[in-house]
Amino acid sequence: MKFFIDTANLNDIKEAQDLGVLDGVTTNPSLMAKEGISGKENILNHYKAICEIVDGDVSAEVIATDFDGMVKEGEELAALHEQIVVKIPMTKDGVKACKYFTEKGIRTNVTLVFSVGQALLAAKAGATYVSPFLGRLDDISTDGLNLIEEIRLVYDNYLYDTQILAASIRHTMHVVNCAKIGADVMTGPLSSILGLLKHPLTDIGLAQFLADHAKANS
């Protein structure tokens, strides 16, 4: 499973990259705003800065909601850097724009996906990635993991190439469970990746090894 980090924070991206397990980055307009990035020039420069840190795909989301606007913005984003993947919302114009980009050889991530039907449309339009929002479904007492399992089944039935990018990951067990059910990619905060490191028996075992070594070598 590929590991993406879901943030626009350059320090978090560097930390995940330094760990050596990062395959890419996803951003969205809220995450960019959280880092105080505003204005076209600054936004484009920030995407470039992310591409320079990470060795992998970087999703950059369009703001336009109409087909022509998405095409214009998406082409501009894709021209920024070869690692950019154009992120498009799951709407009627978004599906049309996805198909357009597919035909142009521009990679896409169809976002805000909450149903199997939406995921099917994204695959039909040739999306590189589809982003079902696991955490936001869990937030409203709906089984987000079940959605990912169902998308996996449908994509496997027809051998679609679209990669399932489990998004809106909130914690480490989301990551583990997505791996069990065959999500191609997960995107979550740094904490969801670092959480995978933790086990008390690892800490206890290491402390014992070091204590025994110190005793024998004193």
For ligand E4P, the closer of residues 68 and 98 by Cβ is 98
- Closest C-alpha among 29, 66, 23 to residue 163: 23
**Active-site residue flag, 14:** no
117 token code pair: 């039907």
Q: How far is the CB of 117 from ligand E4P (least distance, A)?
A: 19
Amino acid at 20: G
135 token code pair: 């955490």
Binding site for ligand E4P (CB under 6 A): 6, 26, 28, 111, 131, 133, 135-136, 167-168, 187
Q: How far is the CB of 89 from ligand E4P (least distance, A)?
A: 11
Q: How far is the CB of 31 from ligand E4P (least distance, A)?
A: 6
- Look-up of token digits 């402390």: 207
For ligand E4P, the closer of residues 83 and 111 by Cβ is 111
36 token code pair: 């105080």
Instruction: Give 90's DSSP letter.
Output: S
Q: How far is the CB of 188 from ligand E4P (least distance, A)?
A: 7
For ligand E4P, the closer of residues 48 and 136 by Cβ is 136
Determine the Cα–Cα distance for residues 138 and 31; give it in Å rounded to an integer. Answer: 20
The single residue of 87, 92, 124, 198 carrying the catalytic annotation is 87
- Closest C-alpha among 194, 134, 137, 141 to residue 167: 134
For ligand E4P, the closer of residues 138 and 150 by Cβ is 138
For ligand E4P, the closer of residues 118 and 187 by Cβ is 187
Q: Specify the 3-state DSSP secondary structure of 2.
A: strand
- Closest C-alpha among 211, 125, 191, 192 to residue 161: 125
Q: How far is the CB of 186 from ligand E4P (least distance, A)?
A: 9
DSSP calls for 164-200: EEEBS--SHHHHHHHHHTT-SEEEE-HHHHHGGG--H
Torsion angle of the four alpha carbons 150, 138, 87, 159, in this order, in degrees rounded to the nearest 10: -10
Residues annotated as catalytic (active site), given as ranges: 87
